[in-house]
């Protein structure tokens, strides 16, 4: 048995989201900042006439901010009754990961990020961290 993941890179890590959760992947989009919003909110984008909230995954996962001028790609995911865009550094491909190689979050991960990762797949050349999309989008839990 295996599961398909859409993968992307974030501060040197390889992350994956179940393919069925991903609606589409977009290059950098103009974003409108949302003042007073939690810091992890990366702004609002126009997705073919629909206003979609962007979540800055680096901030959400307590990783250092993107450098000035570094573009952010959009991974558009469906959650409950809303559509969100996850801001990531670059897009990987779709990876078929064998369930057998799945493990709980590695010990090397610590802090808040550990709570937001469901586990990891040991791939030949890298470690694929599986994002818990629903938890990531529970923003109340984000310390301001």
Partner 1 sequence: MDDMDEIVQEFLVESYENLDQLDSDLVALEQQPESRELLSSVFRTIHTIKGTSGFLAFGRLEAVAHVGENLLARLRDGQMVMTLSTTDVLLRMVDTVRALLNRIEETGVEGDVEVDLVVTAIRAVLDGEEPVLPPADGAGSTADDVAPAAAVAAPAPVVAEPEPVVEVVPEPVAEVVPEPVAVVPAAPAEQAPAAPETARAQAGSAAESTIRVDVELLESLVRQAGELVLARNQILQRASALRDEDLTRACHRLNLVASEMQEGVMRTRMQPIDHLWSKLPRVVRDLSSQLGRKIKLEMEGGDTELDRTLLEAVKDPLTHIVRNAVDHGIEPPDVRLAAGKPEVGTLKMRAAHEGGQVLVEVRDDGKGIDPAVIGAKAVQKGLLTQAKLDTLTTNDILQFLFMPGFSTAAKVTNVSGRGVGMDVVKTNIERIGGSVDVESTPGAGTIWRLRIPLTLAIVPALTVECAGQRYAMPQVNLLELVSLDTGRMANAIEDVGGAKVYRLRGVLLPLIRLEEALELKRPADAELPTNLVIAVLECDGRRFGLVVDRVLDTEEIVVKPLSGALKAIGSYAGATILGDGRVSLILDVQSLARRTMRADGLDHIAGQQVAAASTVADGQRLLVVGLGDNRRVAIPLDVVTRLEEFKTDSIERVGRREVVRYRGEILPLVRLSHHLGGSSRGARGAAELDAVPGVVYSARGRSVAIVVDEIIDIVSGQDAHSDIDDAGLIGSAVIRDRVTELLDVRAAILAADPNFFTEQAQKELAAASSRLGV
Binding-site member from 71, 98, 139, 141 for partner 1 (CB under 8 A): 139
> Which residues between 62 and 91 bind partner 1 (CB under 8 A)?
82, 84
- Cα(first)–Cα(last) distance of the chain, in Å? 40
On whether the CB atoms of residues 7 and 121 are closer than 8 A, the answer is no
Assess 51 for contact with partner 1 (CB under 8 A). Answer: yes
CB of 77 to partner 1, least distance (A): 12
**Interface characters, 12-31, with partner 1 (x: CB under 8 A):** ------------------xx
List 20, 33, 70, 71, residue binding partner 1 (CB under 8 A) = 33
Would you give the DSSP letter of residue 43? E
């Amino acid at each position: 048995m295996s599961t398909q993941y859409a993968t992307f890179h974030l501060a040197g890590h390889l992350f994956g989201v179940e393919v069925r959760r991903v609606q589409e992947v977009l290059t950098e989009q103009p974003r409108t900042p949302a003042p007073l919003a939690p810091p992890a909110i990366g702004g609002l984008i126009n997705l073919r006439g629909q206003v979609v909230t962007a979540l800055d995954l680096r901030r959400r996962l307590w990783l250092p901010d993107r450098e000035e001028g570094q573009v952010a790609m959009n991974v558009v995911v469906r959650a409950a009754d809303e559509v969100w865009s996850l801001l990531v550094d670059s897009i990987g491909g779709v990876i078929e990961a064998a369930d057998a190689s799945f493990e709980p979050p590695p010990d090397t991960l610590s802090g808040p990020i550990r709570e937001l990762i469901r586990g990891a797949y040991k791939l030949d050349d890298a470690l694929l961290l599986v994002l818990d999309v629903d938890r990531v989008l529970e923003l109340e839990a984000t310390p301001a």
